[in-house]
Structure 1
Amino acid sequence: MADVNSQPDARRDVSGTVLVVDDEPELAGMYAAMLEDRHTVRTATSGEAALRQFTSDVDVVLLDRRMPDVTGDELLDVVRTEGYDYQVAMVTAVEPDGDVTELAFDAYVVKPVRRRDLRDVVAELLLRSEYGAGIQELLRVASKLAALETRNDPADLADDEDYQRLLRRLARLQRASRARQDELLDRVEATTLFRDALQESREGWQ
């Protein structure tokens, strides 16, 4: 586990750098221990310390929402407004409600969290980082819906306008994604047809 002043060891065979942010040192250390056999892990036990760790080599940030100096929500806002290309998971005791619809996180995990679940979340976020912006936004909305659906009664969600708005947004993003996929396939097909036609022409010249 690395402290807030440590540098990653380039000799380690790891996948991605994870920044764990939690104002409880014991929890931060526990999460780091769960991950450090697979990833380079840094920890920060305050919002201010986390801000100093926002560097270009970070891939995933695990954020506690409730911290006394700078909250996890505020840190998430910094990540997005400053253009950091991080995948962010909120790892928190705060149950998700309507306010999560306004937060641009990539995953939402309610404490306590099991080792296997935390490792799976980080692995999934590292995979997502390879996707384009449109797919990442689609997955972000899907994660918000999953957080709400896991912790709330379906009858309550049926009357929740924020939840319904997210559903509509997900549907729009899915349609846009399918349209982009169709366009890409059309381009590939057109390129293949052009290549085949060119090859036939060359064979005819011989």
Structure 2
Amino acid sequence: MPDQTEEDNLPRALVVDDEREVADAYALRLRGLCDVRTTYAGDTALEILGDEEIDIVLLDRHMPGLSGDEVLAELDEREYYGRIVMVTAIDPGFDVLDMPFDDYLCKPVEREDVRAAVEQQCAVLGYETLGAYFQIEAKRSVLEAELPATELADRNDYRELADRAEQLRRRANRLLDDPSELLDTFDAVGREGR
């Protein structure tokens, strides 16, 4: 297994803005807080989001080609599992009531506000992910406690469940500062019959 870098342990963010200077400035503001990718086009953003596990998307609304609104609609259609922060010069109107974003920042945005919004969305996603992990891990744990290992090894659905649990645990650890106390408490609960 390759050595993990510090960036492997950071939340993954994607900055999407057609103004290169703006996108690069946001990426710079998030350095050390996230492993940041940037793109300057909506279609490229969708490609990246289809190929990689990205936790937080900072998305401009007004872009040539595929607009931020169209990217947002496509992510909603794909049931994107992550958080989306609109960062835009478009003043919000009542149209935002039906838009599936998680936060909305009006440009120009202060450095501290970008970082605070991303930190908050990472925490929210981290706890959501931890909840999903607990749900899956409870099923896996009770099956391991009650059924023979040979029977479990023959089940594809069990192996998929175990793989998904590990993926969620890694993601929660990446998103949250230190979920170890919650994980330890969960692990300490006896789920097997007496």
The two structures have a TM-score, normalised by structure 1, of 0.58
Give the length in aligned residue pairs. Answer: 126
Stretches of structure 1 lacking an aligned partner (at least 5 in a row): 1-8, 134-206
- The Cα offsets for residues 2-58 of structure 1, whole Å up to 9 and x where unpaired, read as xxxxxxx94025520000000000000000000012210000101111111103420
Alignment partner, residue 43 of structure 1: 38
> Which residue in the other structure is 2:104 paired with?
108
User: Which of 29, 32, 35 lines up with 1:34 in the alignment?
Assistant: 29
Aligned to 2:78: 82
Q: Equivalent residue for 2:6?
A: 12
Identity of aligned residues (%): 39
| Cα 1:10/1:80, change in 2 over 3 Å | farther
Equivalent residue runs for 1:1-206 within 5 Å? 10-13=4-7, 14-54=9-49, 55-132=51-128
Equivalent pair of 1:18/1:39 in contact (CA under 8 Å): yes
Point out 4+ residue stretches in structure 1 off by more than 6 angstroms: none
- Supply the RMSD in Å over aligned alpha carbons: 2.0
C-alpha distance in 2, partners of 1:77/1:56?
Answer: 19
Taking a change above 3 Å as real, the CA distance of residues 10 and 40 of structure 1, as seen in their structure-2 partners, is farther
The offset of 1:90, in angstroms, is 0.3
TM-score (norm 2): 0.61
Decide whether aligned partners of structure 1 residues 16 and 70 sit closer, same or farther in structure 2, where only a CA change above 3 A counts. Answer: same
- Matched residue type, 2:121: L
SS in structure 2 of the partner of residue 53 of structure 1: helix
Partner Cα separation in structure 2 for residue 56 and residue 26 of structure 1: 24
Counterpart in the other structure of 1:195: none
- Identify unmatched segments of 5+ residues in structure 2: 130-194
Counterpart residue type for residue 67 of structure 2:
T
CA contact under 8 A between 1:79 and 1:86: conserved in structure 2?
no
Asked which structure has the greater CA Rg, the reply is 1
Whichever residue aligns with residue 73 of structure 1, its letter is D
